[in-house]
Structures are given as structure tokens and as C-alpha cells.
Amino acid sequence: MKKIIVFSIISAMIIGSFGLAMAQTKNSIRQEFEAKRTEAKNLMESKKEEFKNKVEAKREEAKSRIEAKKAELKGKLTKIKDERKKQIVERVYNQINELNERRLDHFSAVLEKLEKVLDRISNRAAKAEVNGRDISAVKTAITEATNSIALSRTAIQNQVGKVYTPVINTENTLKTDIGKIRQALHSDLAGVQETVKIAREAVRKAATTLAQIPKFDELEVATSTTATTTQPAQ
């Protein structure tokens, strides 16, 4: 009888120790996940703020240059006799430079959405890693996507500073002169758009790579937030 009691006590102690060890392990996993999540979020916010500040600074510079070029354009248009044609040139000048700003705002918004999706992918990948999964391929894909987003933002920053002003030759060549800056803007924006497309595909690849980890979506780590989906923005 005494042996049974002793055995029961020892078993209870072993089970208790095992339970304590498991609780400590889970707590360690949770802390590790939260630390990685916080670090990644802070880095993302820092880069986003830096990007916005740079773009805003360049935009203000561009606005000053646009106004200066507008005054310069008015002077060049004095040799054009047709007032209606003068007004058309000035209107097109404004429209082209405004279009550049609108499209860059759109591209910036797309990149911000992609970055949020990538953040969710990173969170899911971190959960898989602390649960013992091999996420080396996902890490590589996330790094590639992060770099693609950074390159696209650099392209946007460079484009923000551009001002499109027609070279006025004669009244007969006005249409051609205006057409040149239209084409220049189209070509430049197409280049920026291509970088955004590459960034989108890189994020999609990261999501696809994560999805290849067996049952990754079933892995959970107790956190203060609710997990979200990992589908890239369109």
C-alpha cells in the first residue's frame, strides 16, 4: 500500500514537472513570436514613415519647379498668336503634371497594401518557425518581396521629382511638342508601374511559398491579436 502511495506521489511530481516545463516552453514560444512580430512591425513603420517624408519633400520641390516652369512656359508662348492654342498648351501642361502626382499616389497606396500583406505573411511564418517548421524558403521569398517593395519606392521617389515641360518650337508644331511630353510621362510611369508589378508578384510568391508548409494555417501562438489572411493585394 505504501509503495502504491509513494509511486502515486512520484508520478504526480513527474507529471507536474512535465506540465510546468510545457507551460514554460509555450510561454517562451509566445515571447519569441511577439518579439519578432514587434521588431518586424517597427521596422515596417519606420521605413514607411521615411518613404512618406522623402516623397513629401520631393513633392514640395516639384511643386515649386512646376510653378516656375509654368511662368517660363507663358513667356515662350508669347510667340504663339492663337490664344486658344496657348490655353490648350497651358491646360495640358497642368494635366500632365497632375496626372504624374495622381498615379504615384496610387502606386504608393498599392505598395502600402502589399507591405501589410507581407507583414501578415511574416507573422504566419514566424508562428510556423516557433512551432518547429522549416521556413527557410519563406524567409528567402519574404526578403525578395521586401527588396522589391523598396526598389519600387525608390522608383516612385525618383519620379516624384520630375516636371514635364514642352519645348515650344512653332505654332505649327504645338501638337507634336505636347505629344512628346505626353509620351515621356507615359514611358516613365510605365517603368514605375513595372516595379510595382514585380513587387506584387514577389509578395504573391511569398504567400504561395508559405502555403506549401504543411498545415501552417493550423499553427497558433497565443497573442493579443487575431491572425489574418495572407492573400496579396490586387
Query: Any idea where the domains of the chain sit in the sequence?
Result: 43-218
Would you say 201 and 234 are in contact if contact means Cβ atoms under 8 Å apart?
Answer: no
Query: 3-class SS at 107?
Result: helix
- With b meaning 16 or more CB within 10 Å and e meaning fewer, what string describes 4-40? eeeeeeeeeeeeeeeeeeeeeeeeebeeebbebbeeb
Cell of 160: 516624384
Strands (E), the chain: none
Q: What does the pLDDT profile of the chain (234 residues) look like in tens digits?
A: 555 665 556 655 566 555 565 556 556 656 665 666 676 667 667 777 777 777 778 788 878 888 888 888 888 888 888 899 889 999 999 999 999 999 999 999 999 999 999 999 998 888 888 878 888 999 999 999 999 999 999 999 999 989 999 988 888 888 898 999 999 999 999 999 999 999 999 999 999 999 998 866 555 655 444 444 444 544
pLDDT, residue 192, reads: 97
In this prediction, what percent of the chain has a pLDDT beyond 70? 74
The pTM score is 0.74
Alpha-carbon gap, residue 136 to 50, rounded angstroms: 29
Would you say 153 and 111 are in contact if contact means Cβ atoms under 8 Å apart?
Answer: yes
pLDDT, residue 12, reads: 58
Closest to 228 in 3D by CA, of 113, 137, 131: 113
For the stretch 215-218, contacts whose Cβ atoms lie closer than 8 Å and that sit 24 or more positions apart, written own/partner, are: 216/124, 216/127, 216/128, 216/133, 217/124
Cell of 35: 518579439
pLDDT, residue 148, reads: 97
What is the end-to-end Cα distance of the chain in Å, rounded?
Answer: 71
